[in-house]
Amino acid sequence: MVDAEWKASYSEAIKDIHGDCHFEESAEMLRRLIRTKLLKFTDLKENPERFFEAHRLLLAPGRNSDREGSGFGVRFTVQFNLFAGSVLGLGGPEQVAELDTMQEKGTLGCFCLTEKFAGVNSGLVVHTTATWSPERQQFLIESPDRGSVKNWISQGLTASRAVVIANLCVNGKFYGPHGFLVDMRDESTGELKPGVVIEDMGIKTTANDLDNASVEFNKVWVDKSALLNRFADIQDDKYVQTTEEKMRIEIIGQRLLTGRLAIAEASVIFAQRIFEMAREYAENKPCWAPKGQPQPMLADMPQLATILAEADRKLSSLVQYNFAVEKRLNSILRENAIPDAAMVEAIAVAKIKSVQTAIDLTDRLRREVGSYALMASSGMQSVAWLSMCAFAEGDTRILMQKLARDSMKKFKASSWTDTGKEIVFGTSAEQQEMKFRFLLSRALSGAASAADSSRLWNENWELVYGLAEAVCDRYFAEFLGEEKVLSKL
Ligand SMILES: Cc1cc2nc3c(=O)[nH]c(=O)nc-3n(C[C@H](O)[C@H](O)[C@H](O)COP(=O)(O)OP(=O)(O)OC[C@H]3O[C@@H](n4cnc5c(N)ncnc54)[C@H](O)[C@@H]3O)c2cc1C
pLDDT in tens, 263-295: 999 999 989 999 999 999 999 999 998 989 989
In 3D space, the residue among 475, 470, 476, 397 whose CA is nearest the CA of residue 440 turns out to be 470
What are 179-190's pLDDT values in tens digits?
Answer: 999 999 998 888
Distance from residue 458's CA to the centre of ligand 1 (Å): 20
**Predicted confidence band at 415 (pLDDT cuts at 50, 70, 90)?**
low
Residue 169 reports pLDDT greater than 80: yes
pLDDT tens digits for 106-148?
999 999 999 999 988 888 889 999 999 999 999 999 999 999 9
CB 338 within 8 A of CB 380: no
Name 133's bridge partners.
138
Dihedral sign, CA of 344, 346, 347, 352? positive
Q: Would the CB of 60 count as within 6 Å of ligand 1?
A: no
Q: Is the CB of 125 under 6 A from ligand 1?
A: no
What is the CA(191)–ligand 1 centre distance, in A? 29
Q: Considering the domain 253-394 in this protein, what is its CATH number?
A: 1.20.140.10
83 lines ligand 1 (CB under 6 A): no
Q: Please report, for the chain, the start and end positions of each structural domain, with discontinuous segments joined by +.
A: 4-105, 109-249, 253-394, 427-488
Report the chain's mean pLDDT, rounded to a whole number.
92
- If we measure between CA atoms, which residue out of 229, 274, 411, 251 comes closest to residue 344? 251
Report the separation in Å between the CA atom of 143 and the middle of ligand 1, taken as the mean of its atom positions.
19
Residues 200-250 pLDDT 10s: 999 988 889 999 999 999 999 999 999 999 999 999 999 999 988 888 888
Q: Is the pLDDT of residue 176 over 90?
A: yes
Q: How far is the CA of 126 from the centre of ligand 1 (A)?
A: 14
**Which residue, judged by its Cα, is nearest atom 38 of ligand 1?**
120
Q: What is the pLDDT of residues 81-96, one digit of tens each?
A: 999 999 999 999 999 9
* Whether the Cβ atoms of residue 79 and residue 34 lie closer than 8 Å to each other: yes
Rounded to an integer, the average pLDDT of 353-362 is 96
211 with 21: CB under 8 angstroms?
no
- Quote the CA–CA distance of 318 and 50 in Å, as a whole number: 20
Ligand 1 pocket residue status of 256, Cβ below 6 Å? no
Residue 107: the pLDDT is: 97
Q: Which fold has domain 109-249?
A: Butyryl-CoA Dehydrogenase, subunit A; domain 2 (2.40.110)
Atom 52, ligand 1: which residue's CA is nearest? Answer: 152
Higher-confidence position of 330 and 250? 330
Q: Is the CB of 401 under 6 A from ligand 1?
A: yes
Q: Are 362 and 386 in contact (CB under 8 A)?
A: yes
C-alpha span between 223 and 130 (Å, rounded): 11
* Residue 1: pLDDT over 70: no
pLDDT at position 412: 74
Indicate which atom in ligand 1 lies nearest the CA of residue 155.
8
Question: CA dihedral defined by 445, 449, 451, 453, rounded to 10 degrees?
Answer: 10
> Mutation test of ligand 1: which of 74, 77, 110, 152 has the most ligand atoms closer than 8 Å to its C-beta?
152
**363 three-class SS:** helix
Is the distance from the beta carbon of residue 402 to the nearest atom of ligand 1 less than 6 Å?
no
**pLDDT at residue 378, as a whole number:** 86
Measured torsion, CA atoms of residues 115, 119, 121, 122, in degrees rounded to the nearest 10: 20
263 CB within 6 A, ligand 1: no
Q: How far apart are CA 401 and CA 2, in angstroms?
A: 36
CA of 386 to the centre of ligand 1 (A): 14
Closest protein CA for atom 30 of ligand 1: 119
